[in-house]
Amino acid sequence: MKISFAAEKTLGKLSKWLRILGFDALYDPEVNGGEFIDNVQAGRILLTRTRRVQEKHGSSSLIFIRANDPFDQLREVINALGLKFEDTRPFSRCIECNVSIEPIEKESVRNRVPDYVWDTQENFQQCGRCRKIFWPGSHTQRSMERIRRLFESGVGEKVDKNALE
């Protein structure tokens, strides 16, 4: 199942969460919400908080977001699509650029990451667009825990709200 999203400009944090889960989530804070969504290619699921947009596009490929909290918004998307943890690929995408990150040779990052990271980590990945380097760190562990809880807890149950730092 290949799922991709286009979120309007008020849903920046939700977009980042979707990217953390590995989904292609288009988001442009520079463009007006309705205008942006008009330009979206077919096939993306539109995420909106604007009634006007909802009325215009119907409900077939659109999720109307009600919650204010980004993590609750993420829950709305997961529930609406019936997503399972197996549908996600956490930490496979650059949160800033929305492109997949790729493995990179350890040798080539020697002077580009802190010494303690180079000494303790074996697996590195890089964003092809911004060149940022990623490795499995403590932040990843914490976020992964939150993601797991998100999929384990039942509908309507509250989860940790301070997940996006």
55 vs 165, beta carbon nearer Zn ion: 165
> Which range touches Zn ion (CB under 5 A), out of 17-25, 60-68, 88-96, 145-153?
88-96
| Residue 94 binds Zn ion (CB under 5 A) | yes
Site size with Zn ion, rule: CB under 5 A: 6
| Residue 130 binds Zn ion (CB under 5 A) | yes
102: β partners: 126
> Which range touches Zn ion (CB under 5 A), out of 15-23, 125-133, 137-145, 147-155?
125-133
46: β partners: 6, 62
In 9-113, which residue ranges form alpha helices assigned H by DSSP? 12-20, 33-38, 51-57, 70-81
Distances from the Cα of 117 to the Cα of 101, 104, 130, 133, 151, angstroms: 18, 15, 20, 11, 30
Distance of alpha carbon 127 from the chain centroid: 15
> Which range touches Zn ion (CB under 5 A), out of 35-43, 58-66, 89-97, 137-145?
89-97
Enumerate binding residues for Zn ion (CB under 5 A).
94, 96-97, 127, 129-130
